[in-house]
A and B are shown apart, each in its own frame.
Chain A
Amino acid sequence: MTVQLFFAYFAFAIVLLSVIVITRRNPVHSVLWMLLLFFHIAGLYLLLNAEFLAVVQIIVYAGGIMVLFLFVVLLVNLRDEVSVGRFIGASPTGFTFAVALFVLVFMSLRAFVLAPPGKYTIELIQQETHTKALGKLLYTEYLFPFEIAGLILTVAIVGALVLAKRRLKS
C-alpha cells in the first residue's frame, strides 16, 4: 500500500514536472524545474530497488548536466526570448505527432508480456548489495561496452572543447 502510494506520488509529480519544464517561458525556470524532476526520477529508482542508479542520476544529471545547462542559459543572452512566443509556428503538428505516438504505443502496450524472471531476485541483490552486483556484471560481461562508453565520453569532451573554443585568429 505504501509502495503504491509512493509510486502514485512520483508518477504524478514526474508527469506534472515534465509538462512544467517544456512550457515555461523563462529557460532558467525551466532548468530549475528540471532539477526537481531529476530528483523525483531518482526517488522512483530508489522505489524500484536501483540505489546505485538513483545516486548516479543525482550526481550526473542534477549535478553535472543541469549545471552545464544553467551555465549555457546564463552565457547565452536570452533577454528577448521572454517576450517572443514560446513555440514555433507549426506547434499543432508537433502536438498531433506526440499524441498520435502516445495513443499508438498505448494501444500496443496491451500486447506486452513479461519475460520469465531472471536470477537477480531482490533477496540476492540485498544479500550482495546492489552496487556490487551491478559492478560485477558491468566489469565482466559488459567490459567492452564499458570501454566504448569511456571512449565516447572522451570524444565528447574533446569535441565540445574544440567547438566552444574561441578562434585565436580568424
Chain B
Amino acid sequence: MTSSSPEARLIERIEAGDHQAEELLVERFGRGVALVLDRHSSWRGEVDDLFQETFRVAIEKLRQGELRDPEKLGAFLAQIARYLSLDAARKRIRRKTEPDGGRVEREVAPRGNPLSELLERENTRLVRRVLAELDNDRDREVLFRFYLAEEDRREIARDLGLDNLQLNRVLYRARKRYQTLYQERLSGSRPMPPAPQERSRHRTLLLGLVTVLAALAQVVQPW
C-alpha cells in the first residue's frame, strides 16, 4: 500500500479534520467492526454502545496521527473493538461483586419481535433446503456434528475417514449453497420450493386431528 492508497488518503483527510472522511470510515469498516464486536461481546445491548465507542476512539487516535502505517487500518480498528469488548466484560465482572449484582429482574419480558421471528423461520427454510440437497448422509453428519454438537474437526474427520481438507470442503460447499439460496431469496429470482418442514405440516395436521379425536374419546368414555 502506498501513500496514495485509499486508506492512506482517508487517514490523511481524518487527520485534517474532514468529517466526511470520518463518515466514510464508518461506512467502509462499520460492518466488519460490528462483526468483531458481536463475536467478543456476550451482551447484545452493549454492542451498539461499543460500536460508537470504537469509532470515537479510532477517529481520535487517527486525528492525533497515532496510526503510522495505513496498511494496518483494519488491524487497528479490530484491536480497538476487541480491547473495548474485553474492557466492558471486565467492568461487568466487577459490577457482579456489588451488593445488587445478582438481582433478578422480575418484569415480564417484552413479546418477541415478529420480524426477527419471521426472518428466523425463513432462515430455517433455507437451511432445510441446504440439508436436503447435500449429496449424502456423510455430509449431513459433518454439518450436524460440527454446527450442532460442535465437535472437534479432527475427531469428526477421523470418525468419517476424511482428511481435514475434505471435511473443510463439505463445510465450504454447504456454506456456498446457503449463500446462493440466500441471494436468490433476496433477489426473488426463484421461488422457494417447499422444504421438508413445509411438507411435514400435513403430517402435523393429521397428528393434530388424532389428538383432538383422542381428547373426544376421553370425553365420551363415561357414557
Task: Tell whether A and B belong to one assembly.
Answer: no
Interface residues of B (CB under 8 A from A): none
Interface residues of A (CB under 8 A from B): none
